[in-house]
Amino acid sequence: MTASHILKLVKYLVYSGVLILAAGCATTQNNVSENSHDPLEPANRTVFNALEKLDKQFIKPVAESYVSLTPVPVRTSISNFFDNLSYLNVIFNDFLQGKFEQGMTDMLRFAYNSTFGIAGLFDISTPIGMPANSEDFGQTLATWGVNQGSYLYLLGPSSTRDITDQVPSTLLNPFFYFSSVVMAPISVLNAINTRANLLEKSNIRDEAALDAYSFTREAYLQQREFKVHDGNPPASGYDDIFNDASDIGNTDDNKESGMLVIE
């Protein structure tokens, strides 16, 4: 397995961890479980279980060691650096979605962080009124009227629509065009740092969910709905996901914890 493959694997595992906190938002659909579009569930579960095992036996322990050895400010700068690298994809999709003003602001954000922020190591744009946005090609296709299709778990939670983002996000990452000598160590660092950032959240899922697969799927589908509507999904049909605890394996104690949507 090459470093780039490891990066993609961990990136998707991280998505699973990020999305687990989406369940605590009041803007979630209580009918998502009934319309999860998961006709490939047996195959999806097989892949999910295999990747979970790999994560617990290899990736997670490495990430935990990384956290114990690396100061928080250093990890923050590393995260900023990689976030800035991937921001060209956000800008690209801003314009594809017709969000021209946001696109121009995001271009300035990228330019400021890349120069005054020393190659993105420091986020100087957010404090001056240019916060990060989150756009991808899956959201762009949704804007164009393409439905999410079937839920798909290959290297992590996705759908037949959202998986298409891998093409522009890869091609717009500057490091894609570097030699493997440069790409390999940077990819490994990105993978480990990304997984480290999600340790606490993945632990919450592991402790709260009776069925980790269903929990991850429902959280993913709801978070995608949240993002497609720019944080304002249709009010009709939305309620607390914890009302359907039998589907996602959550409990009343978790409902009272006040978990919020994580972008």
| Res 103 pLDDT > 80 | yes
Please name the residues in contact with 179: beta carbons below 8 A apart, sequence gap of 6 or more: none
Q: How far apart are CA 139 and CA 93, in angstroms?
A: 8
Q: Which two tokens stand for residue 191?
A: 């993978």
Task: Return the SS3 of 127.
Answer: helix
Task: Return the SS3 of 97.
Answer: coil
Taking alpha carbons only, the member of 215, 213, 219 closest to residue 250 is: 215
Task: Return the SS3 of 176.
Answer: helix
Q: Does residue 190 or residue 13 have the better pLDDT?
A: 190
pTM: 0.73
Q: What is the pLDDT of residue 39?
A: 92
Determine the average pLDDT of the residues in 40-63.
94
C-alpha dihedral sign at 219, 224, 227, 229: negative
Task: Return the SS3 of 255.
Answer: helix
* DSSP-assigned letter for residue 157: E
Q: Is 162 exposed, middle or buried (0-12, 13-18, 19+ CB in 10 A)?
A: buried
Question: Over the chain, what is the mean pLDDT?
Answer: 81
